[in-house]
Amino acid sequence: MDVFEEQEYARSFSLELWKKILHYTKPYRKYMLILMAVMAGTGGIDAVFPLMNRYAVDHFIVPGNIEGLWLFGIIYAGLVALQAVNVWLLIDIAGKIEIGVCYDIRKLGFKKLQELSFSYYDKTPVGWIMARMTSDTQRLGETIAWGLVDLMWGSVMMLATLCIILYLNWKLALIVMSVLPALALVSMYFQRKILAEYRRVRRINSRITGAFNEGIMGARTIKTLVREEDTLQEFKELTGNMRNSSVRAVVVSSIYMPIVMALGSIGTGLALWFGGEGVIYQTLTYGTLVAFISYTAQFFEPIHQLARIFAELQNAQASAERVFSMIETEPDVKDSPEVVKVYGDVFSAKRENWPPIKGNVTFDNVSFSYKDGEEVLENFSLDVKAGESIALVGETGSGKSTIVNLICRFYEPQEGEIRIDGVDYRKRSQLWLQSNIGYVLQAPHLFSGTIRDNIRYGKLDATDDEIIEAAKLVNAHDFIMRLKDGYDTEAGEGGSRLSTGEKQLISFARAVLANPRIFVLDEATSSIDTETERIIQSAIQKVLKGRTSFIIAHRLSTIRSADRILVIRDGRVIEEGNHTELLKRKGYYYSLYTNQFKEEKEMELMSRDSWLSDDVV
């Protein structure tokens, strides 16, 4: 995951990117405009308050006159009320934009994830995608809303203050502004440093998370190896680094802030010095000096804010790059516009146009290699008739899984064609094919929710009766009924603990409910107890009946019952035929079979539930 995390992104501002970011605020243009208006209003009122003080000094105190004080008070109160409304609008609207943008990006991202091909998932860790969809999106939304608020506020404040002090006394104003270039330089230097430190902190932080993950997952191993103390030492080193880096980051910003303040007070000091002299030599009124000094203080306030905002914008830019890199990924497997026009896309299928499927599958001179050049199929041809069952046998890495992935169109061949019922499957939509293929995996994946929900996943509008029927067909009904809550038992991670075998049965029921024409089964290698094994075998037989099926098989009983067995080696079919034919050939299959036979027999004997009352052999 770190490999992805540590990807470095451009540090300079990229106009292109910000255009894209702004594009996502399109639905909120109206709010953005209101927000900016509110912002300007807020900044303006903030800037006006000291003017009110000056007015009070010049008009009431110095002449000793209180006429109009009540009106003044009412205006003041009015401004205060207006400002309160401003603040309320500000937070509300900025929040709306933030939440809206996050919502939109997440939605868009999720949709994209549903379209992306498996080649994307092969090389992208789930954790990475999760981070893009959660923290990065959040940061982007926050910055778009609040970064802009702050930026507007800071700029308006500074500009307004600048105008006012220039208006009050431009000479004095220029003197105060003489510290600005130094401030700009200091800010740029420090922000870069601070950013770099925080990046380091975040990197260590992700390593700490990793260490906790391993510390907990590997705790049993650590215990048996008596490595507790050493592991703790290693961990302490990590947390020590974390502490040092964090402190360093804070220290750097603790140096920066005082410098900004000192420069600010130089400005104020200068104003006091020259302004005071002005009053003494009567080139400046007393009230103006009072106002001028309060404005000077106010002028420097937004500067370190702005520096912080720029750093945040930079961070947001990095997040944006990561999020967009995901959203903009083009899926490798994609339906052509013509296909989409006729059959619809993943989200709005035009089922009425879908042709029925019989289940003939043809590989015509198919060549395929993964992007990293891994496993290859070369000029692979295969003709499977509707209703035929095919067992794929061979060692890990021989190409069995690739064949299955190609049938499901999780990948597409680079050369040659795969035809379903005689038509190149690229001329139909992915959803059409995948809705007609039942795919049961080696490691069954269940979603959180009840068993009923999980079975219903195969056909969302299935009635309860249909669900029970499907469960009965694969012999899952009995064990489900034995559970305390029956079909309403929680099946996910937090729910009751179902064994692997039980999960498999549920995934079979799910596939049966979908009633596909083509069935793909990736058989489990792990051993399950004999009883469950037998139930699963009989379930498989029932499920396969009358369907075209492809099985990555490990169990002899499954292999034996297939109509045709393909022995795959290095992406090629080296032996082909039914069980009897292949045995007679006394080739690779023969030796594979006899070895497997012995192992299985032995396993079967050894792993019975009990031997006390058995009558084996």
Site residues for another protein, 437-466, by CB under 8 A, read 437-439, 441, 445, 447-448, 457-458, 460
546, 492 Cβ separation under 8 angstroms: no
In the bound complex, what is the minimum distance in angstroms from residue 188's beta carbon to another protein? 19
Among 10, 22, 33, 81, which residue sits at the site for another protein (rule: CB under 8 A)? 81
Short-list 425, 362, 385, CA closest to 517: 385
Interacting residues with another protein between 526 and 565 (CB under 8 A): 529
Which listed range, 277-285, 323-331, 352-360, 542-550, lies at the site for another protein (CB under 8 A)? 277-285
- 533 CB-near residues (< 8 Å, 6+ apart): 501, 527, 555
In the bound complex, what is the minimum distance in angstroms from residue 389's beta carbon to another protein? 15
Which listed range, 23-31, 183-191, 375-383, 605-613, lies at the site for another protein (CB under 8 A)? 605-613
- Across the strands, what pairs with 283? none
107, 68 Cβ separation under 8 angstroms: no
373 touching another protein, by CB under 8 A: no
Burial class of 558 by CB neighbour count within 10 A (0 to 12, 13 to 18, 19+): buried
Decide: helix, strand or coil at residue 336. Answer: coil
- 394 CB-near residues (< 8 Å, 6+ apart): 400, 567, 568, 569
Among 37, 40, 56, 177, which residue sits at the site for another protein (rule: CB under 8 A)? 56
Distance between CA atoms of residues 438 and 509, nearest Å: 11
Cβ nearer to another protein, comparing 134 with 414: 134
In the bound complex, what is the minimum distance in angstroms from residue 266's beta carbon to another protein? 6
Interacting residues with another protein between 119 and 148 (CB under 8 A): 121, 126, 129-130, 133-134
Decide: helix, strand or coil at residue 77. Answer: helix
- Across the strands, what pairs with 549? 389, 519
Which listed range, 21-29, 83-91, 182-190, 474-482, lies at the site for another protein (CB under 8 A)? 83-91
Cβ nearer to another protein, comparing 70 with 167: 70
Cβ nearer to another protein, comparing 14 with 205: 205
x/- letters, 325..364, toward another protein (CB under 8 A): ---------------------xxxx---------------
In the bound complex, what is the minimum distance in angstroms from residue 264's beta carbon to another protein? 7
Cβ nearer to another protein, comparing 147 with 317: 147
Lookup: tokens for 526? 């792990």
Walk across the sheet containing 361-369 and list its strands.
Answer: 376-384, 361-369, 415-420, 423-424
Distance of CA 400 to the CA centre of its chain: 30
Distance between CA atoms of residues 67 and 52, nearest Å: 15
364, 416 Cβ separation under 8 angstroms: yes
Interacting residues with another protein between 195 and 234 (CB under 8 A): 208-228, 230-232
Interacting residues with another protein between 101 and 120 (CB under 8 A): 102-103, 106-107, 110-111, 113-115, 118
x/- letters, 562..581, toward another protein (CB under 8 A): -----------------xx-
Lookup: tokens for 546? 């009358």
